[in-house]
Copies of this chain bind each other. A is one copy, B any other.
């Protein structure tokens, strides 16, 4: 019973034997994460076209629920830049950003996303397929980062944001307005301070004999200082009144009213495709971070439980009036590095978040929007991973093609269609590569039991034996190609009497492959060539034994290539 319950609520797992030492570690981590969470979630709400409280509520709702139901011990959930960008793209096609309808669409989107994540768990999706290849994800995130940076150019200049999320929309929007000088100055100062903190602050603090963990925590919380500094300067010098600097304005204080989202079937149907894509991206983002953290501590990963945790977290966020949430890479890393041991750290963050919402939210009135944009831009730039790009271009040319298409498609037609185009291309290239497998004619290396490609090595062969190793499973996309290879080789070698197919790398055979071998075997008999097989894998052999082909075949199935060469080629 306990086991079953802990499966539903992993909290029962880690509260067993929870000590005051562990709590102290979790408490420190929870507080450090709070100081990154507040500015980030307000900024991401702004990126998503929403008021600051939407970000705070989303973080609060998801942190509480995920700490009860999630499987990762250190994942920090809440609004993220990528999901905020996707939310903006989806919701702005239903209502004007900032309007009441718009807020309501984002809440419904989060709710449907949560429900879909739970449904995906029922479909065992956590253990099924990962559709998004590294190349697609890298292409999409790199392009999304550029879109995010572009979308913040207007607010950095003191202008309103563009309603068109595509690059072309943002730039045509920019062209029609003139910048606000106060916003421009604030933006530049914010960038300078943020960049200084990122590049220099930690080593500076270390030289001042701060401990390593404190130095790191103080560096990571830099956005909070900028926010506080910005609020003080703006209110002191009345920058909004005097210079027309756009500010955040009134933020309601007090906790949000919690209510389950109600929606019509039509709304559900309209938002479904986008919510499904967002759900997949949420899962992919979160499971990547969760896996990385688990492998550093020899902990298990339960992808299906993660779907439950994230699904409930999204339903939690939407019930509090927030928008879709995911595992945040930057906040999770800080949580882990600050010593968090259990989800108690997230509960600590959530408790302080309640205090902040109740007592400090009016403080954000004077926060300049340009500062939020600066925080967003710095976060977005960190999403671009040049070493990953380099790896893709060096290691695998198909992946390079997929990356380029995804990247350009996201930039030109948007995040949603871009990802879909990338996924389709990655599958097409995948199938194309296995449609023309590597096939080697092999011979014996010296007196050994090793058999290698005749084109690469000096090997012994026999003119009456054609021995071929196929480096791929045998199935419909390549069966014809392989058959054509054999026929053309045989037409060039009139002395061949035995054809040996070596199956070391053949992991499965489908009916098209079987049909091909069968027809080949029968037709070759008519020209006096016998087909043999060697090194057939267990699971493949199990299936083959049940076929008429196996019962009727004239050739042999050899256990090793060595035996086949001794018997058929005399080598």
Contact = CB atoms under 8 A, between A and B. Distances in A.
Count chain B CB atoms within 10 A of each CB in A298, A300, A488, A524 and give the residue with the most. Answer: A298
A152 to B, nearest CB: 29
A235 interface: no
Contacts of A295: 483, 487, 519-520, 523-524, 527
Contact of A504 (B475, B487, B505): B505
Interface residues of A, number: 82
Interface in A394-442: 394-396, 398-399, 426-427, 430-433, 435-438
Given A301-B484, A526-B296, A399 B129 contact: no
Interface string A111-140: 000000000000000011111111110000
A510 interface: yes
A296 B511 contact: no
B510 A507 contact: no
B543 A396 contact: yes
Interface string A473-489: 00111111101100110
Contacts of A511: 133-135, 388, 391-392, 395-396, 399
Contact of A134 (B131, B135, B294, B512): B512
Residues of A contacting B: mostly:
helix
A551 interface: no
Nearest to A476: B133
A477 B135 CA distance: 12
B300 A488 contact: yes
8 contacts: A130-B476, A133-B511, A295-B527, A298-B527, A300-B487, A392-B511, A427-B427, A504-B505
A22 interface: no
A287 B516 CA distance: 13
A553 interface: no
Contacts of A539: 438, 471
Interface in A292-334: 292, 294-301, 303
So how many copies of this chain end up in the complex?
2
Contacts of A298: 487, 490-491, 494, 527
Contacts of A301: 484, 487-488
B396 A129 contact: no
Nearest to A537: B471
Given A128-B435, A395-B511, 15 more contacts: A128-B436, A129-B435, A134-B511, A134-B515, A295-B523, A298-B494, A300-B487, A301-B488, A388-B511, A391-B514, A394-B546, A396-B509, A399-B510, A399-B511, A433-B508
A432 B128 contact: yes
Interface string A254-277: 000000000000000000000000
A260 B352 CA distance: 81
A507 B505 contact: yes
B546 A515 contact: no
A299 B494 CA distance: 11
A292 B523 contact: yes
Interface string A452-495: 01001000000000000001100111111101100110110010
